[in-house]
Amino acid sequence: MFHAIWDYLSQICDVGIFVGLVTAALLVFAYWLVRLMTESLLLSTLFAPVMLLGGLASNHFFITHFIVLMQDPDSNTVLGIAAGIISAMLIMLILTRVAYAVGDMRARTRRTAPT
């Protein structure tokens, strides 16, 4: 199983210069956006690797399954990477909100518990 995961990660990371530059540019913008929304350096730093893998996995998925959004292959690459980064960002924001809600509920039950 470890080798299958390693092979998939090596396929995802096997990209050209254009894909790397587009991913880096969109990742910097998404990092800034998460930092602006959460006002936390730690959260934006933790989100960055997940958004990077989301963008690269989405690009690999679009290429593997021949999903074409536009006729221009470069535009299709940009849209695929952007879709992956946005979906990874949304998933991480939802997970963060759920973690905050669970922590808040636990704190409330500790305060209201009879001693």
Q: What's the distance, CA 65 to chain centroid?
A: 20
Q: Would you give the DSSP letter of residue 15?
A: -
- How far is 85 from 80, CA to CA, in rounded Å? 9
pTM of the model: 0.84
**Per-residue pLDDT tens for 78-111?**
999 999 999 999 999 899 999 999 999 988 888 7
Comparing 13 with 55, the larger pLDDT belongs to 55
Neighbours of 51 (CB within 10 A): 25
Instruction: Tell me the domain boundaries of the chain.
Output: 2-112
